[in-house]
Amino acid sequence: MIKRTALLVLLLLALLSVTAQKSRAFAIDRHHFVDTMKVEIIDGSVNVPVEIEGKIRRLMFDTGAENGFWIAGEEEWMKSSGDSVMVIDSQNKRIRLPILKIPSIKMGSITLEDYPVMVHDAMSGVVCGMFDGALGYDLVAKGLSFKLDTKDSMMIVTDRRGFFAKEEKGQPTLKYREKTLPLVFVGFPFANVKMLFDLGWVGGWFDLPEYWLNRWSANNPKMRQTLDELTVRRDTIVSTQYGLSGRVNDTLVERTLHIPEVKMEGLTLNDVWVSTGTFSVKVGSAILKHNSLIINASKRKLILLPNNGKLEQEVGNEKRGISFIPAEEGDTIGAVKAVVGKGTTAYSKGLRTGDYLISINGIPITDVCAYVTISSREKVVSSVFRSPDGTLKEVEW
């Protein structure tokens, strides 16, 4: 697919712990259980089918969100918790959201009762029906352990301690101290970086902001030298960030790092490309394109299970130097515009910033949702663009 540097941060949240614990309380109707269910895997992210009010809904399992989230706006069957929470969205902007409760979520053979969710519809036009909301990391804090089997698209959930012990033995293990969110260390050639393990960042590998790299290396000449040696491109880009505060286009300084080797506690990832045109520090769901995952609630561990059994994996996630932003409202030429980095593959094929994306694999791009759906589910082999002067450009990838 087209690798994009900035379009569509699909979830979204890091939470400030300011909400009363009572408003976050929920119950599980079974104890000492093991349940297995079929799930949908999209770019490594996990969508769980659940039943709410007699209707099947899809909720993303978002390890980067402390609580559940509901995208479609408030529903009449939701219950008020009488509380709210302050969140920081993908633009680093704060907004206070009400916490409502879903009376009953049937997930496989178990039921979550009075499950708390933050409710806001600002993201509905970006998520484009891929899911209805998110299950947060509060499920793990409640004592549930999970196996996310991305090879066979299955999820196992249990409240039994040590249930996955045999599978965990000898596998790459990321430990974290925090109870509410999994913050793990990742070994880069320039530093060990503490990162949020965020399956809500769909299709992403590693997010490293230019601002933080500059800050960390300001008084460390050796680190600065290593970063410069790993840098293959520098550019100023237009980055679209979607969050609860709406959409914002920012001009950001970005570098592209080509990192030969990244270490994740026993797992080695080779040929990793990282863009720094971002605001967050996190590991995205792309790590589960090649690995399954066990989340051990009692020991606060993430255990990676390579789907091919290999502890050394080739990533090869080089971007083509093109990202996309929505066209301005009322634009009649196209719905999505390109941002192209100089000296990149896309630039060498004649594409330029401001060109409109007209189709992917022969499928018309009529709005942002068409782009989101196609680029997340298909391998992009051909695209058609139109320049502002009307010139058509056909590109084979």
Decide if pLDDT at 9 tops 50.
no
Average confidence (pLDDT) over 60-77: 91
Which CATH number does the domain 14-168 belong to among 1.10.540.10, 3.90.1150.10, 3.75.10.10, 2.40.70.10? 2.40.70.10
More confident residue, 124 or 139: 139
Report d(CA 117, CA 99) in Å as an integer.
Answer: 6
Task: Indicate the DSSP class of residue 66.
Answer: S
Average confidence (pLDDT) over 305-322: 93
| 390 CB-contact burial (10 Å; exposed 0-12 / middle 13-18 / buried 19+) | exposed
Report d(CA 343, CA 338) in Å as an integer.
Answer: 15
pLDDT at 319: 83
Ranges of each domain in the chain: 14-168, 322-396
Q: Percentage of the chain surpassing pLDDT 90?
A: 67
Cα–Cα distance list, 353 to 6, 358, 359, 388 (Å) = 14, 14, 17, 10
Residue 336 and residue 365 in contact, taking contact as beta carbons nearer than 8 Å: yes
pLDDT digits (tens, 9 = 90+) for 196-255: 999 999 889 999 999 999 999 999 999 999 999 999 988 887 766 666 666 666 777 889
pLDDT digits (tens, 9 = 90+) for 338-396: 988 888 899 999 999 999 999 999 999 998 888 888 887 778 899 999 999 999 999 99
Radius of gyration of the chain, Cα coordinates, nearest whole angstrom: 21
Which CATH number does the domain 322-396 belong to among 1.10.3470, 3.30.70, 3.90.105, 2.30.42? 2.30.42
